[in-house]
Amino acid sequence: MAFAFEELLVYRKSLDFAANVVKTAEEISSSRKHYRIIEQLEAASTSIALNIAEGKGRYSKKEFKQFLYISRGSLYETLALIALFKKLGWLPVEVCQKLYAQAEEISKMLSGLIGSLTEEN
C-alpha cells in the first residue's frame, strides 16, 4: 500500500535530491566550527520532500498548496546554501551544477503542481 504523497513524482525526486545533498554534505571538508550551516543545508534539503508529504496529508487543496510553497522555499534555501558552500570552496563546481540541475527540475514540478491546484479552485 502506498500513501498518496509517495505517488507524486515531485516527492520522489525531492527525496532523491535530499539524499544527494546529505551525501554531499558528508564530504564537505571544513572545520567543525561550521557544523550549524552544514546542518542547515541538510535540514533545508530534507524539508522539501517532508513538506510535500505533510501537505498531501492535509484535508484541503488550499492547505496542500501552502505546503508546496513552503517546499519551494526550502528548495531555494538549499540552493542559497549550496552557492555559499561553492563560494567558500567547500563544494566542487561540478557537484553544485548537478545539484542545481536537479533543483531546477523540482522547482518546475512544484510550480506546475501549485498552478494545477490554483486552476482547480
- Rounded CA gap, 24 and 81, in Å? 12
pLDDT 10s digits, 7-48: 999 999 999 999 999 999 998 877 767 889 999 999 999 999
- CA quadruple 68, 61, 120, 51: dihedral, nearest 10: 10
Under a CB-based contact definition with an 8 Å cutoff, are residues 93 and 37 in contact? no
pLDDT 10s digits, 46-97: 999 999 999 999 999 999 999 999 999 999 999 999 999 999 999 999 999 9
- Rounded CA gap, 121 and 109, in Å? 19
Domain boundaries, the chain: 4-120
Domain 4-120 has CATH 1.20.1440.60: yes
Q: Would the pTM count as exceeding 0.85?
A: yes
